[in-house]
Amino acid sequence: MPREPHRAEPLTLRLWWLFPLLGLVLLSYSPGLALLTVAILFGLGFIWRVLAKHEYEYDADSIAIPEQALGEWAEIERLTEEIRAAWPTLGAPADPRDIGPELARARYRLAELLDRRAELDRAAAELRGVARDLPGDDASGTLYAEVDARRAEVAGELGRRVAALRRLGAAAGEHAERVRRAEQAREAVRRAELVAARPDAVEPDGLGEVAGRTGAALDAYWELSAPPSGGSSGSRSPSASPSPASGEAGGGTV
């Protein structure tokens, strides 16, 4: 049987049915409006009661987790938190829409199974001691076999439920990761579209025009400044001018 949670329901949760009666204050003004208000408040209160009740019906913290099962419980806690975080990303395929009540119920039942398995482990250990002390006691041997069988059943059910939690966590986590990558891809496309839509604002390349004009002018300058390659009739090369020595020799000849 499920254990009673340590945390009691608040008074507002237990006396929720009194709030719709506030609509009766409108009775003297309009009986029809008063009854309609009471009906609406009753419906809203009932829905709130159903949604809030699971937090107190399945309080796993009310069960002391055995020390030898703390590692398993840590994994259960991690999986439930991962599922709770990933569930809103499922969108329309999410069933149920609110996974909170199911996770609270699953945590509570798993905590019960861990506690029950530890109880059966202790009972089996005690019966093994009885078998050593009373080797001929058939009743204790039969009881040990029954306890051991029930312990195996509890361990098997615990393993199946944890495996189901792992599968759900893997499916929800994979979907959440794919949603995250798809959103990143869409954001990259949006940024690329903004970049492509922005005008380039490229002005005419004045520097290139200056470079071409300057290069042509410099080529013409050096072409005109280069010395001529051969002599002409109106000019005489410096080697044709007589030297002073040759002039003196010519003047002394008769």
Q: Which of 238 and 39 is assigned the larger pLDDT? A: 39
Task: Decide: 65 and 73 in contact? Cβ < 8 Å.
Answer: yes
The 3-state DSSP class for residue 49 equals helix
Query: Using CB atoms within 10 A of its CB, is residue 111 exposed (0-12), middle (13-18) or buried (19+)?
Result: buried
Contacts of 61 (CB under 8 A, 6+ apart): 5, 6, 7
Bond before 199 cis per omega within 30 degrees: no
The reported pLDDT for the residue numbered 113 is 94
Q: Provide the percentage of residues in the chain whose pLDDT is more than 90.
A: 30
- The 10s digit of each residue's pLDDT in 208-228 is 778 888 888 888 888 888 777
CB atoms within 10 A of CB 108: 21
φ, ψ of residue 59 to 5 degrees: the values are -95, 95
The reported pLDDT for the residue numbered 2 is 39
Q: What residue has token string 């419980």?
A: 73
Please give the biggest Cα pair distance in the chain: 169
d(CA 45, CA 23): 13
d(CA 30, CA 161): 55
User: Where in the chain are the domains?
Assistant: 1-57, 65-197
Q: What is the mean pLDDT of the chain?
A: 77
**Torsion angle defined by CA atoms of residues 77, 79, 80 and 82, in that order, rounded to the nearest 10 degrees:** 120
CA 246 to chain centre: 106
Q: Which of 242 and 5 is assigned the larger pLDDT? A: 242
Check whether 181 has a pLDDT greater than 90: yes
Question: Which whole number is the average pLDDT over 14-30?
Answer: 66
- The 10s digit of each residue's pLDDT in 63-98 is 888 889 999 999 999 999 999 999 998 888 888 888
The reported pLDDT for the residue numbered 81 is 92
